[in-house]
Every structure is written in C-alpha cells, then in structure tokens.
Amino acid sequence: MRGAAAIRKRESITGLRGRGAFLTLLVLLLVLSAVMIIAWPRGGKLIAVRSEISRLLFGTFATGQVLMMAVLATIHAAGSMTSEKENGCFDFILTAPISPSGIVMGKLFASLMYIQLLLVATLPLASLCLVLGGISTWDILTFYGGLFILTTLCGLVGLTCSTFFHRTQAALAVSLLLVLPPVLTLLAVVRDASQLGRAMLFPPVQLVCIVAGGLLLLKIVNRVKKPFPRVARPIDMENPDRQKGLVLRRDAFPDKLLIPKKRTRLLPDRVNPVYEKEIGSEVFGQGTLLVRYMLVLGFSLLVIFIFFLVAGFAEIYICYVLGFITLIAPTFASNAFTQEKERRTLDLLLATPLKPREIVWGKVLATFRFTGTVVALLCVYLVMGLMHPGTITFANLFAFVCIIPTHMFTVIVIGLFFSMVFKRSLDAMLATYTALALLFLGPVALLLILVGVTDTPVDQISWLGTVTPFLATLGTRAVELGRPPPRWLISPLSWVSCVCIYLALSFSLLGAMVVWFRKLLRQ
C-alpha cells in the first residue's frame, strides 16, 4: 500500500478541479431534483395515499440512482489507468517508489471517493421522502449502504478493465458491458430498487461481493506488477490461431463484413479516404479483442432475450437490440475525433483539402458499418421469427427495420458531436451516455412517474410515446396481437413519428457539425 495516499491525493485534486466533476454533480442533482419536483404530491391528499406515493417516489428515485451511480462508478474507474497509459505517464508511476498495491488502491480510492461524494450529495433529496411518510431513515440508510457496495464493485470492474486494456475506449466499452447486464438483472430481481440495500446487505450476497472484489483486486495488482509494453500490440501480431474463444478471420464470411481484409493495393480513386482509413485501420488498430468481447457478451445476452422472441414478444427483443446499440455505438462514435486530438493526428487531417462533410461523413459511415454489422448479426433471428407463425409479421419487421437503423444513426451522430466538442475521449463518452440516457430513458421515466405517481391525464402525456424508440418499439405490436394497447400510446404507428423525429434530429446535428466544423474542432 506504499504511496497509495500520494496517488489518491493527486487523482482527487486533478479530478475535482476539472469542470467535468462539477458538471456531473450538477446534471445528477438536476435530474434527481426534476424527478422529485414532478412526482411530488400536490393538494391535500390523505396520509395513506401520501405514504404510498412516497414509497413509489423513493423507488423511482432509487432506480435512477442505482443506474446512474453504477454507470458513473464504472466510467470513472475505467479511465483511471488507461488515461495514464495514453498520456505516457504510467512509466513515471511504475518507476516511482510506490508499490503495485499502492497504485491500485490509490486509483480505486480516488475513483470511488468522487462517486461517494455524489452519493452523499443526493442524500438530502432522498431524505425528502421522509416528509411524506411511508419511508424510514433505516430504509434510506440501508439503500445507501447497498449502493455503496454496488458502486465499489462496479468501480473494481472498471479498474480491472482499465488495467488490462490500453485504450480508455476499450476499457470503458467492456466494463459497461460487464456491469450493466448484472445491474439490470439485479433491479429486475429485487423489483423495487429501494430494496436493493436489503438485498446487498444480505450476508450471503455480502460474502459473494467480498470474494469477487478480493479476486478482482488480486488480479489487478498482479497485472500492475508486470511491465506494460510501450506500444500496444498491433493488429497484425494477432494470430487467429492463438486467439481464445471467439476468433475473427478477415477472409471468412461474415467476419470480413466486420473486419475487412488488409489492403494490398492502393485505394481506388474518388473514395472517401477517411472512411477507408477508419474501417481499414482505425477501428481495429488496437486489435480485435474489444470486438470479440462485445460479440461474446452481445450473444450471451441474446440467449436470454431470444426467449422473448420465441414467446411472441419481439418488441422486447428489439428493445434489447436498441439497448445494445446504445451501449456499443458510443464507444466508437464518441472516440472518433477525440482519438485524433489525443493522438495528435487531427492537424494532419485538417491541413488536407478534405471537406468537413467528407471527414464527418466518413466517420459516420465507418461507425455505422461496424455497429450495423454487429446488430445485423443479432437481428438475424428476427427473419427466422417470420417463419414461426404468431412470432412476428412483415409489418412488424418493416417497423423494426426502420427503427433500428434510425436509432443507430442517432446514437452515432450524438457520439460524434460530443467527440468534436470535447478534448478527451472519457469526457466525450460521459457526455454522450448522459445525453442518450436523458433522451431515451428520460421520457420513459417521466411517463412512469406521471402515470404511476401523479394524477396527470394519460391523453396529455401520450405524446411521450413518440419521443423514444424504446416506447415506440413497445407499441408496435400491441394492437396487432390483440393485446390492450399501452395507455400512453397515441397509435400503433407512433414509431413512424419517432423515426421522423430522430432522423430530423440526427440530420440537424450532422448539419451543425459540418457548418461549425472548424469552431468545434478548434484546440
């Protein structure tokens, strides 16, 4: 543990000094305050009703809190080691008289300290539920105790990925894929997020957490003890014969759709060189490990969701695909320009006569192709569903075929936008995920609060069903299958409005990026 204090102090100072720390706190408090304000009971309601509302309110608050804190803890820890490697500072730390366990514990404490600070900052908001009754101080304290354990575990997963990967992009993508499915499963199991504390403080669960945390720490310390190669292993050194698990071969179908074969000839005339560069070298410049992890995790989760498809709930299956896109696409899109800035290749690109639209479009297309191929592999089962009566119809398929690419395009454009605005990949990714959460999950949360907690008439808020692809997807099949349509649904064709809204948003943002190209990229 020698030197842990020095690392922790430095990390804390630099972390808290930045604008990002303040903005994260601000956004978090604003979102949670908005939840409270919207859901706060108005008028003279009976005490029993107020207690019920209080429990619902605290449950909604806790769900949002769990999701946000899990993501934030993971993101913060996932960038802690990789940022040192990317900045070339890791050698300084390794050669300083700081023990490997000191480095790891310093990094972990620094990452978690900020998250715990955020947790404490939200405590007054959660305590407001005490005023309404139905919730005790013990309920709040156990919830926060459970959340503390959960965020520590998420931080450890992020730190593990950060230690093993060379790029923040890779560490972040894999750690989010590792963290989010269990967290969502946990929320689904406990049903009421406010009961998370009780679940996490249950002795056998605590034991599992301690053992898992200890193993992860041991793994990280062992990795830090070994010297790190200065140059990341280039793609050509990746021998498919030596790869474990999923193997990608550039010359085999469908792998070659994902990773094109290495070029042996010059580029043809009149191609977009940025697209060719991105797809030919950049996406897989650091090897295929990240992609293989993504595919393995994506298909592992698919095994669960395929049951929904078979059971006739294709819309839930599509929601999983949309969620997968929301997680995966930003790891490439929000990195597109920040990587050029961090690596100092942006000036080289900007000094060429390439037009802003060529550069932006090249990056959009490359990310779209890569994400599209992965998603297409997940969607193959939809076509198979067509052959199974009652599972899916051509009309459904058409709706999904419109919703999925639109969603993907929007996510990519938003990621690219923040990649242009921010200097660091980590900041761009954080901003992208925050924006996507507000855009896609915000209306869902608002709808749940308004319908479940307040007395707002449904017809006043049914428009919310058109502003997020998740709600639009859920509404596509309701009428067709003879199920009662969701109360919030304007019509089964809500998805058409949703697609139009998101296409308009994406193209507007794309246009703004091209027009403000120089301004956004100025360093």
Partner 1 sequence: MIKIKDFTKKYDGVNAVDGLNLEIEEGDIYGFIGPNGAGKTTTLRFLATLLDPTRGDAWICGHSVRAHPDKVKRCMAFMPDHFGVYDGMRVWEYLDFFAVAYGIPSQKRLGIIDDILVLLDLQTKSEDLVNGLSRGMRQRLGVAKTLVHDPPVLLLDEPASGMDPRARMEITELLKELKNMGKTILISSHILSELASCCNKIGIIEKGLLRATGPVADVVSRVRVHLVINVKVLSDVEAARKVLAANPKVSNLTVHEQDFRFSFPGSEEDAADLHASLMKEGVRVLWFHEEKVSLEEVFLRVTEGVVA
- The residues binding partner 1 (CB under 8 A) are 231-232, 234-236, 263, 266-269, 271, 273, 276-277, 280-282, 284-286, 343-345, 347-354, 518, 522
The CB-of-174 to partner 1 minimum distance in angstroms stands at 18
The CB-of-220 to partner 1 minimum distance in angstroms stands at 25
Of 353 and 482, nearer to partner 1 (C-beta) is 353
Give dist(CA 54, CA 40) in Å, integer. Answer: 8
Of 52 and 238, nearer to partner 1 (C-beta) is 238
In 3D, which of 145, 179, 132 has the Cα closest to residue 160? 179
Of 221 and 346, nearer to partner 1 (C-beta) is 346
Give dist(CA 495, CA 404) in Å, integer. Answer: 11
φ and ψ at 456, to 5 degrees?
-60, 130
The CB-of-298 to partner 1 minimum distance in angstroms stands at 23
Sign of CA dihedral 282, 376, 172, 213: negative
In 3D, which of 303, 476, 453 has the Cα closest to residue 404? 476
Of 241 and 269, nearer to partner 1 (C-beta) is 269
Contact 173, 121 (CB under 8 A): no
The CB-of-161 to partner 1 minimum distance in angstroms stands at 19
The CB-of-413 to partner 1 minimum distance in angstroms stands at 23
Of 232 and 509, nearer to partner 1 (C-beta) is 232
In 3D, which of 168, 182, 180 has the Cα closest to residue 429? 168
Of 287 and 415, nearer to partner 1 (C-beta) is 287
Give dist(CA 294, CA 437) in Å, integer. Answer: 20
The CB-of-408 to partner 1 minimum distance in angstroms stands at 24
3-state secondary structure 447-499: HHHHHHCCCCCHHHHHHHHHCCHHHHHHHCCCCCCCCCCCCCCCCCCHHHHHH
Of 280 and 405, nearer to partner 1 (C-beta) is 280
Give dist(CA 57, CA 44) in Å, integer. Answer: 17
The CB-of-384 to partner 1 minimum distance in angstroms stands at 35
CA 281 from centroid of its chain's CA atoms: 24
